[in-house]
Amino acid sequence: MSQEELVVERARRSFQTGRSKPLEFRLQQLRRLQSFLKERQEDIKDALQKDLGKSGCASELYELLVVEAELQLSLTRLAEWAAPRPVEKNLFTLSDEVYVRPEPLGVVLIVGPWNYPWSLTLLPLVGAIAAGNAAIVKPSEISSTSSTVIKQLLPLYLDKDLYQVVEGGVPETQQLLKQRFDHIFYTGSTAVGKLVMEAAAPHLTPVTLELGGKSPCYIDKDCDIRIACRRITWAKLINCGQTCIAPDFILCEPSVQNRVVEEIRRCVKEFYADSPKTSDDYGRIINQRQFKRIVGLMEGCTIAFGGDADESQGYIGPTVLKNVTGDSRVMQEEIFGPLLPIVTVQSVDEAIHFINEREKPLALYVFSHNAKLIEKVLAETSSGALVANDCIVHFLDSALPFGGVGHSGMGRYRGRHTFDQLSNLRSCMIKQLKMEGLNSMRYPPHSTKKLGWARRFLLSQLNVQKLRNMAMLAMLTCLAAFVVQSANQCWHHRRIIYWKLVHEACPAYCLVPKAIILLRIISSKAASFTQTTALSLRDNVFLSRKPAHTSTLLLITQHASLPLVEGLLCSAVPALKLSSRCRSSAAGVQSGPSLYWSKHFIFVLM
């Protein structure tokens, strides 16, 4: 048995004991991982400094923060994610329990890349732990210091059997890929991605591939080019251009090319002072091979600025290439270094065409003030993600699924998406052994009659959600009607008392205060209007002995508001409809408008 076999066997056996399943265990492991990041921050930063020349702040900003945010999110949301998710029912399954239950898959292999050796290795691990899986972590051998630190320190914090770290280069990875896993999560290049998927096929292992690609960046000529260039320069030069979602090349119209170059030059100066080589914030190329490849890409291009390189340090200065054509070498492969070619296009249509001619990128960036233009680019292109007016930041948002399409990868992750990706979403349906009579329509011997029944039943798939909403609405309207009715009763008595009070307090000629009080009685509550129906007859008689002004006033208010309330009542309960219509006809009000209102009312509620 090779070492890799033993590792997987050990992880599988401890997964089978079921101890990674309870939520408390997962939460505890996540908390351990959190304290690992907090306590070992210095070790991590040192490793990154050695591997990629990242400064302490940059390490914290681009590597650790994302993982911390993800851990925080997982810790607070895990119970919600892992709970069974009820789904919509139909008429057939009304009495059953129907839900989707997320379950751990088993042993997950996580193969990390070297450009962000911590975040891109630990983010999937957070998801694997949260989903209750066991995991084998294989950090990239190219960022060797980080790999060693992970190997040494992770077992001190996490369960040693469930979450193991395997170090090694290509042969070890090949050995690992021969083993059977329940999911493989690979972050890296397209070429290796294919090999990973091919290796997964014999075991039918699902894969998540986070690959790269040439992410285009289109700058509209009417946008604020200064700010656009700032954001692009920042995104391109983080980690010395070795970011899978860094803008790979710029597409812009020839008229703005020089301005773009100028602005980028200014930003480089602002960010890294006069010499990026001595700046703490500027990274280095990972190794000699990559260095040679990147320097080779520059050949034959017009360098607008930069282009300086120092092989001994793996340093390549921020470089912008001008007037690059689509068929030059730098446009054929992912650059993954601090070179920024500018390709000129005549219009946004040409830019879209340029993008569609190539493989689907991992990210697409558009800078424009024009919402229509952004909409157009969104609709006519395809990419893993689209960000307008900024670069890279979609990776920081754990609510957005992160992943590629076509050659830039498959599968999505971040936050809840990682959890779902590394879980088996098992559909569960729990029925009763009763009501066997209902089933006879599916049992043989068949007949036309049985089929008719089945058709009627299965095709009339009533949406239960809708039914529930309707029932709720009906109940609410009933309740409203009830409230209105009882309010009526109260107001009825009160009003007569009020009226008597008014009548006695003010002499018959004090029309104005009388009218005001009357108005207040009537208009104080919408509910009180309804009583006018019931009482209108009596009131009219009652008021007819009083001065004409008041009685007209009352009648006007009454007639204006009646249909609305009537409508409410009519739509609430059909039984009420009849009685209220009788009442309104008794009061001499046409039932025409009330019917109109009831229809309108139902329409509004729908």
Partner 1 sequence: MERQLLQRAKEAFVSGRARPLEFRLQQLHALQRMILEKETEISTALKQDINRSQYDTPLLELIGIENEIKLAIEKLAQWAAPRPVEKNLFTISDEVYIQPEPLGVVLIIGAWNYPWALTLIPLVGAIAAGNAAVVKPSELSECSSLLLHALLPRYLDKDLYPVVTGGVSETQQLLRLRFDHIFYTGGSTAGKLVMEAAARHLTPVTLELGGKSPCYIDKDCDVRTACRRVTWGKFVNCGQTCIAPDYILCEPCIQGQVVEFIRQTLLEFYGADPKCSPDYSRIINQQHFSRIMSLMEGYTPVVGGQSDSSQCYIAPTVLKDVPPHSRLMQEEIFGPVLPIVTVSDMEDAINFINEREKPLALYIFCSDQKAIKRMIEETTSGGVTVNDVMMHYTVSSLPFGGVGQSGMGRYHGKHTFDQLSHQRACLIRSLKMERVNLARYPPQDRRRARRVRMALRSPLIDMSKRTLIWAVVATILGIGLFITLLVILLIAAGLNCTCWYWRGFYN
Q: CA-to-CA distance for 323 and 257, rounded, in angstroms?
A: 8
Which of the stretches 103-111, 145-153, 298-306, 315-323 binds partner 1 when contact is defined by CB under 8 A? 103-111
Catalytic, 63? Answer no
CA distances from 397 to 212, 334, 417 (A): 19, 24, 12
Helix ranges (DSSP H) in 383-463: 416-421, 436-439, 448-459
Nearest to 187 by CA among 167, 208, 170: 208
Q: How far is the CB of 473 from partner 1 (least distance, A)?
A: 17
Q: Which of 36, 185, 272, 499 binds partner 1 (CB under 8 A)?
A: 272
Q: How far is the CB of 104 from partner 1 (least distance, A)?
A: 8
Q: How far is the CB of 455 from partner 1 (least distance, A)?
A: 6
- For 183, the enclosing helix (H) or strand (E) is strand 183-187
Q: Which of 27, 295, 388, 480 binds partner 1 (CB under 8 A)?
A: 388
Q: Which of 402, 419, 491, 601 binds partner 1 (CB under 8 A)?
A: 402
Q: Which of 206, 314, 337, 338 binds partner 1 (CB under 8 A)?
A: 206
Number of residues that bind partner 1 (CB under 8 A): 112
> Among the options 210, 253, 334, 566, which is catalytic?
210
Q: Which of 14, 344, 383, 584 binds partner 1 (CB under 8 A)?
A: 383
Is position 274 an interface residue for partner 1 (rule: CB under 8 A)? no
| Cβ nearer to partner 1, comparing 200 with 484 | 200
Q: CA-to-CA distance for 54 and 284, rounded, in angstroms?
A: 8
Please check whether residue 562 is in contact with residue 529, taking contact to mean a CB–CB distance below 8 angstroms. yes
Cβ atoms within 10 Å of 135's Cβ, excluding its own: 27
Q: Which of 23, 75, 192, 400 binds partner 1 (CB under 8 A)?
A: 400
Residues numbered 523-542 forming contacts with partner 1, rule: CB under 8 A: none
| Cβ nearer to partner 1, comparing 227 with 521 | 227
- Strand pairing partners for 491? none
Is position 224 an interface residue for partner 1 (rule: CB under 8 A)? yes
* Type of residue at 451: L
Q: Give 425: exposed, middle or buried? Use CB within 10 Å, 0-12, 13-18, 19+.
A: exposed
Nearest to 109 by CA among 121, 118, 100, 117: 121
Q: Which of 40, 89, 514, 583 binds partner 1 (CB under 8 A)?
A: 89
Q: How far is the CB of 76 from partner 1 (least distance, A)?
A: 7
Nearest to 494 by CA among 535, 543, 540: 535
Please check whether residue 110 is in contact with residue 449, taking contact to mean a CB–CB distance below 8 angstroms. no
Tokens of 398: 């754990």
Q: CA-to-CA distance for 212 and 209, rounded, in angstroms?
A: 10
Instruction: Give the rounded distance of the alpha carbon of 522 from its chain centre.
Output: 51
Is position 88 an interface residue for partner 1 (rule: CB under 8 A)? yes
Residues numbered 58-87 forming contacts with partner 1, rule: CB under 8 A: 58, 60-61, 65-66, 68-69, 72-73, 76, 87
Helix (H, G, I), strand (E, B) or coil at 18: coil
For residue 96, report the phi and psi dihedrals to the nearest 5 degrees: -105, 165
| Cβ nearer to partner 1, comparing 341 with 401 | 401
Which of the stretches 291-299, 384-392, 492-500, 585-593 binds partner 1 when contact is defined by CB under 8 A? 384-392
Q: How far is the CB of 67 from partner 1 (least distance, A)?
A: 10
Q: Which of 139, 193, 317, 567 binds partner 1 (CB under 8 A)?
A: 193
| Cβ nearer to partner 1, comparing 157 with 365 | 365
Is position 393 an interface residue for partner 1 (rule: CB under 8 A)? yes
Instruction: Give the rounded distance of the alpha carbon of 334 from its chain centre.
Output: 28
Q: What is the dihedral of CA 464, 468, 469, 474, to 10 degrees?
A: 140
* Type of residue at 586: A
Residues numbered 403-462 forming contacts with partner 1, rule: CB under 8 A: 405-407, 409-412, 415, 424-433, 436, 439, 442-448, 450-451, 454-455, 458-459, 461
Which of the stretches 144-152, 188-196, 565-573, 575-583 binds partner 1 when contact is defined by CB under 8 A? 188-196
Q: Which of 160, 194, 269, 289 binds partner 1 (CB under 8 A)?
A: 194
DSSP letters, 152-178, are HHHHHHS-TTTEEE----HHHHHHHHH
| Cβ nearer to partner 1, comparing 189 with 584 | 189
Q: CA-to-CA distance for 287 and 275, rounded, in angstroms?
A: 21
Residues numbered 457-516 forming contacts with partner 1, rule: CB under 8 A: 458-459, 461
Which of the stretches 91-99, 130-138, 310-318, 530-538 binds partner 1 when contact is defined by CB under 8 A? 91-99
Nearest to 595 by CA among 584, 470, 528: 584
Q: CA-to-CA distance for 87 and 156, rounded, in angstroms?
A: 41
- For Cα atoms 79, 83, 85, give the angle at the middle one, nearest 5 degrees: 140
Which of the stretches 89-97, 126-134, 500-508, 590-598 binds partner 1 when contact is defined by CB under 8 A? 89-97
DSSP state of 414: S
| Cβ nearer to partner 1, comparing 393 with 476 | 393
Tokens of 152: 């040494």
| Cβ nearer to partner 1, comparing 408 with 594 | 408
Which of the stretches 202-210, 254-262, 506-514, 592-600 binds partner 1 when contact is defined by CB under 8 A? 202-210
Q: CA-to-CA distance for 601 and 49, rounded, in angstroms?
A: 69
| Cβ nearer to partner 1, comparing 456 with 500 | 456
Residues numbered 286-305 forming contacts with partner 1, rule: CB under 8 A: none
Residues numbered 316-375 forming contacts with partner 1, rule: CB under 8 A: 356, 367, 369, 374
Helix ranges (DSSP H) in 83-169: 119-130, 144-157
Is position 214 an interface residue for partner 1 (rule: CB under 8 A)? no
Q: Which of 141, 281, 308, 333 binds partner 1 (CB under 8 A)?
A: 281
Residues assigned a catalytic role: 210
